[in-house]
Amino acid sequence: MLLKNAFIALFSFSILHAETLKECKSEADKISGCVVKEYYENGNLEIETPYKNDKQEGIEKWYYENGKLWIETPYKNNKREGIEKWYHYENGNLALEASVLNDILHGDIKLYTEDKKLLALVKAENGRITSGKCFNNKALTNKDLAEMNKASYEKAYKYLQEICLKESDSNSTLYADTLKECKTEADKISGCVEREYFSNRNLWIETPYQNGEREGMAKWYHESGSLASEIPHKNDEAHGNLKYYTEDGRATCFA
């Protein structure tokens, strides 16, 4: 028991945490141990990066603009190493656990819903996603894997979330990409999606209809083609959580 306790104590001191370190003021501080802090324009903390021996060492933390914890990334000898964790904006519950080895994804990636349920499990090897399935054992297709591998880490996370939520919510929420395009008012009664486009022909807005009213998940896009917002509707009115995204896929606001 004594040996076990000694091992636990040794391990606990081997990981540097930003909150236990002084703020970096000089290059010498990065050698002795300190944390670099970056801030949003509103003054809230954005990133805390711990240093030791002039290298990133310990748990780096990213925060949402409202101050809530967003991402925890373990570093060892200047490289990501260990289990990276992402958190939901609204309630702070765990959203993602990703195994990182030698600065690349390698191992299990677990995605969780806001109510702490496992949503999906994905496997990565040497930085590439090789397989995966949703909580109900729906396997990701080769197309899904290809889309995730060519996307940024953040967009791949969002893509995977959409696939599994679509599957799990299919009985309660209409998604624009599961419906035919609206051609007539009769289509809006039976179920369809109305699409609007930018002048460059990129998709701008997708609005699903049912029973003649807006019903389901409407999506707005940036002119570059990336998702800009998701707005759920019920009985022709916005209903539920609105989500907004920057052009590079970062969630900026949940309302």
Same domain? For 153 and 200 the reply is: no
Tell me how many domains the chain contains: 2
- Whether 164 is in a domain gets the answer no
Please check whether residue 106 is in contact with residue 99, taking contact to mean a CB–CB distance below 8 angstroms. Answer: yes
> Does the structure show a pLDDT above 70 at 98?
yes
CA 157, CA 95: separation in Å to the nearest integer?
A: 10
Best mean pLDDT range from 1-5, 12-16, 55-59, 168-172 = 55-59
- Residue pLDDT, tens place only, 12-61: 444 556 667 899 999 999 999 999 999 999 999 999 999 999 999 999 99
> Does the structure show a pLDDT above 70 at 167?
no
Q: Which amino acid is at 156?
A: A
Q: Coil, strand, or helix at residue 46?
A: strand
Last residue of a domain, one of 158, 190, 225: 158
Please check whether residue 63 is in contact with residue 44, taking contact to mean a CB–CB distance below 8 angstroms. Answer: yes
C-alpha angle 85/80/69, rounded to 5°?
30
Point out the least confidently predicted range of 84-88, 160-164, 187-191, 197-201. 160-164
Confidence of residue 170 (pLDDT cuts 50, 70, 90): very low
- Whether 171 is in a domain gets the answer no
- Whether 1 is in a domain gets the answer no
β partners of residue 109: 98, 122
The domain in which residue 150 lies consists of 13-158
CA 231, CA 241: separation in Å to the nearest integer?
A: 7
The model's pTM is 0.59
For the chain, the average pLDDT equals 83
